Amino acid sequence: MSSATARDTAPARLADRERIARLRLIRTENVGPITFRQLLERFGSAEKAIAALPELARRGGRRHPLRVPSVAAAERELEDTARVGAALVVYGDPAYPPALAAVEDAPGAFSLIGHAHLLAARAVAIVGARNASMNGRKLAQVLAREIGLGGYAVASGLARGIDGSAHEGALESGTLAVVAGGIDVIYPPEHTDLFHRIAETGAVIAEQPVGTTPQARHFPSRNRIIAGLSLGVLVVEAASRSGSLITARRALDQGREVFAVPGSPLDPRCGGTNGLIKEGAAFLVESASDVLRILDGLPQRKLGEPQRRDWEGSYDGEALDTPTIDVDETARRQVLEALGCEPVAVDELIRGCQLSAPIVATVLLEAELAGLIDRHPGNQVSRRMDIPT
């Protein structure tokens, strides 16, 4: 992979110690992307957040210490990433994509091979069936090429079928490939040549650390990044239970536009796309001009970070005056007992428990660090029912 090198990465704005600390924090046991962001917001820096983790986890009911990577382990990951020709982009770096930063569960760090300037480009995601028809693949390639000529980068997931065709169509204009495993693990193997061509002219992104073999649970996480990088998601051939619909739903959750190419009702590969159109969740697309007309007509608003609902902190290193919120056991028990195995919106939980947002947020933060709850898209949470209380 020596021919695919990281380029154009802007100088880091974060101090080296804070970059290392942020990498350690996102790699810490039970710290997911949402909790990562909340900890930064609440404590003002990753170093301060790491120092607070043991007490937060203990208050949440954790009986054993959290596994926090050492400074040496984080430095090794940086070295391993550089060794395969990639750069590590940490949340807060100048190269971090503005559109992705606006997503509440944006990754705390990711590896990058290729041209970092594409991360700031206005992008359209094109996704669809792996077992796509010949016509579907041809159409995806044409749409990608014309959308690229319209001034947009094209993002996709390097999968077989529609994804690969979309990347092929946008190679000259600029394409972003988001992979499910480590950036040095090319999947599927038959896309090795395509991977290297994208690395030369576009960019490849991986949330998982170097050396990670992609597993089933990684693909929905990858899909949220594809949607997060993009102003809109275009679906070309997707069955009713397709993973591409996850990308479309995440785009809707993130306030992005969704487009779909209609297909024959006799073809099960079109059930998902036709369903999106029927539900009014997607614009019907027959040509690239349908996508460009809508996106070009959008106000050139700057995508900002998610509204801070839990604390009024900042991400610039300035901690709150009162970073610790005391929660009595009655409130803690009330929140946890209200949770079940089905995800529920945090806002609904706040209303149901009739507690303040900071109290509920603190209980959820501590409970997640203790391994008692799971976070879900759309600011939802659920209880891990297999964990004894």
Q: Kindly give the pairing relationship between strand 87-90 and strand 6-7.
A: unpaired
Q: Is 251 exposed, middle or buried (0-12, 13-18, 19+ CB in 10 A)?
A: buried
Q: Measured on CA atoms in the order 31, 35, 37, 43, is the torsion positive or negative?
A: negative
- pLDDT score of 387: 53
- pLDDT score of 9: 42
Question: Residue 186: which H helix or E strand, with range?
Answer: none
- Phi then psi dihedrals of residue 62, to 5 deg: -70, 130
Q: How far is CA 347 from CA 39, 309, 375, in A?
A: 19, 9, 13
Q: How far is CA 22 from CA 17, 46, 89, in A?
A: 9, 5, 11
Tell me the CATH number of domain 329-383, given options 1.10.10.10, 2.60.40.10, 1.25.40.320, 3.30.499.10.
1.10.10.10
Q: Is 339 exposed, middle or buried (0-12, 13-18, 19+ CB in 10 A)?
A: buried
Question: Residue 162: which H helix or E strand, with range?
Answer: helix 162-169
CB 9 within 8 A of CB 95: yes
Q: Where are the domains of the chain?
A: 6-110, 114-296, 329-383
Question: Residue 31: which H helix or E strand, with range?
Answer: none
Residue at token pair 């799971």: 374
- pLDDT score of 297: 86
**Overall fold of domain 114-296:** Rossmann fold (3.40.50)
- Residue whose C-alpha is closest to residue 227's, from 243, 247, 205: 247
Distance (Å, whole) CA 42 – CA 358: 11
* Angle of helix 46-59 versus helix 33-43 axis, rounded to 10: 110
Query: DSSP per residue over 227-262, as a string?
Result: HHT-SEEEEES--TT-HHHHHHHHHHHTT-EEEEE-
Residue at token pair 């609440």: 42
CB 126 within 8 A of CB 143: yes
Distance (Å, whole) CA 97 – CA 92: 10
Query: DSSP per residue over 338-361, as a string?
Result: H--SS-EEHHHHHHHHT--HHHHH
- pLDDT score of 309: 36
- Residue whose C-alpha is closest to residue 94's, from 126, 116, 78, 75: 116
- pLDDT score of 233: 98
Cα radius of gyration (the chain): 21
CB 210 within 8 A of CB 182: yes
Question: Residue 7: which H helix or E strand, with range?
Answer: strand 6-7
- Residue whose C-alpha is closest to residue 272's, from 256, 254, 249: 249
CA torsion 80-84-89-94 (nearest 10°) is: 130
Q: Taking the chain (389 residues) in consecutive chunks of 10 residues, what is each chunk's mean pLDDT?
A: 42 81 97 94 95 94 92 97 97 95 95 96 97 97 98 98 98 97 97 98 98 94 96 96 92 95 95 96 97 87 46 39 68 92 93 92 92 88 72
Helices (H) and strands (E) in the chain, counts: 15, 13
pTM: 0.87
- Phi then psi dihedrals of residue 278, to 5 deg: -60, -40
- The Cβ of residue 170 has, within 10 Å, a number of other Cβ atoms equal to 31
- pLDDT score of 8: 46
Q: Is 300 exposed, middle or buried (0-12, 13-18, 19+ CB in 10 A)?
A: exposed
- pLDDT score of 353: 93
